[in-house]
Chains A and B, each alone.
Chain A
Amino acid sequence: MHATIQKPLKEIINALSKDEKVFVVGCGNCAEKCRSGGEEQAREMKARLEKEGVRVVGYAATASGSSLCKLAAAKKLLLEEHKEEVAKADSFLILACGQGIHTVIDATGGAVVHPGCDTIFGGETVSDDFITEYCSLCGECIVEATGGLCPVTICSKGLLNGPCGGAKEGKCEVDKEQDCGWQLIYDRLKELGKLDLFRQYQSPKNYAKRSNPRSLKLEEKRATFKSLAGLRTIGQDR
């Protein structure tokens, strides 16, 4: 899940030029679940903008459960289902994550886009009303050594070799309400009887695998990850 939160209306309006005709685009998957950009929020956004005098030529969102960041879906939505309103638009206000914003550029062959949301993290949907992050998409998963809990993400400093001196009563130095990630990792390794993993030195991370932009190429039974660390192909016929 790519978590998003809507930008303040004022910021959205400030980015639009006078008389700009806008089409609002939402996403039926992550953005809908985050209540930042499903069909309902796209409709509401249209009404809120119109109330402020913005010219909105239409709105649309991919169907519930379907992602805007799939190019084929975005094309179908904008170039087929909403072809006529889209033709009148000067620009698109995207209520989705940054991937969705770019998908609209691709789908429209380079249209002007405005971000309507801030993309905040990739997270686990713990419940319908709580999403939190357990992975920072680092490209080199090391949680084998930490009982499945990610130190890069749940420790505020992303420390790999154990806690800093800042934890107090199991809470992190940055926020008294937030669990110290290393306290959680220590507790879990202890429970699993695997504290020896904590004793092992973890070498610095390979940030070349976290370079950007990265890509994944998929062929039948093969997948190739491209980053500044090079190409890595995994597949049955490798």
Chain B
Amino acid sequence: MKNVVIIGNGIAGVTAARHIRKKSNHKITIISAETDYFFSRTALMYIFMGHMKFEHTQPYENWFWKKNRIELVKAYVDSVNTDAKELVLDNGTSLNYDDLIIATGSKPNKFGWPGQDLKAVTGMYSKQDLDTITHYSKDCHRAVIVGGGLIGIEMAEMLVSKNIPVTFLVRETSFWNKVLPAEESEMINRHIKEHHIDLRLDTNLVEILSDENGRAKAVVTDKGETIACNLVGLTAGVSPNVSFLKDSGIDLDRGVLVNRQLETNIPNVYAIGDCAQQHQAIGERRAIEAVWYTGRMMGETVARTICGKPSEYQPGQWFNSAKFLDIEYQTYGWVWAKPRENEARFYWEHKDGKKCIHINYDKDSKEFIGINTFGIRMRHQKFDQWLHEKQSVHHVLEHLKDANFDPEFYAQHEDEILAKFNLENGTDLKAKKKSWKRIFA
């Protein structure tokens, strides 16, 4: 029986703990400073908007931890002594471990902007950040959000839901266009404006000005404009939360450096989730993957290793999803913002301007590479299979009805999509009827 200690009660740490418990009798302790129990960070916005209460974002009931003999310690780890296998906590106590899993997640980026530490200037990552936003939104006459990514647009939606005017500063010339192709990006630009959010593209933050109480009162942009506001959201990306490991001897770059088995340079010390950084990015993935799903996968993988089945982190086909205000987005495989040398694209947009699909495939071999889908839900299992089987774009399009995952009675667009593809490519593809046989093949 080993003594396994996990720092961080996010999805990565908790998944590791659950799987270690399933597979073994090891003593498991999770240390975290943020909240008593695991909650879903991705649902922070819904608490603010009143869709849920905080307790609804906790995937397990409170008795779960004791019943599964997972000990929870609410404290912040100040430092790690890897020689003595000891952690020093901020409450003055220390704790020993046999195996240590670092799953400390991320923190919001701050780029040294003047005024970034003023009152009512905050990121949106933790429960505490949410409390700050809730507090300062009460008398907020305008909010400015800096950074056009997934968290930025969520924060804009939150504040707009409370009828707070929002100005959204986005450095890029179109929303999230480092990831999204121009068409999708433009669709989201439109949708943001439809929600009466004051979207400022190609605009950088220069400085945040303070009022006499040390609270933000305005921001200054690189367009020379001063925008009066009393709440500022900094949502310009996140980076690994690893500064407390500086002197631990654990190799760090931006995150904790790990190999494919998620081991650090120190034996018995592992890192998973947002804070882990692969020496060598896997396939087309990034070396640091700050998404929910990868944290979950890494947690499961490290649990196997610790329970005596050394395993490599083998993320399958890339997938992701998000929701931009009212428009849902899913992606399977890769669709880069700009096509690469060997790639061809197919784009279809519905006439209402809120649904589209964008398919990426190989120009010559016609192999399907990836799809972005907006406003139409698609079946993960189908795309995973097609990507594994290296199916052609023709095969994917012909069987697209199998992949439709919209609720029953929704209007279906596969025929229209195929017609457009045929027209553009001189092909004669016909949509096959949905088949349960194939879906469960």
**Are these two chains actual partners, yes or no?**
no
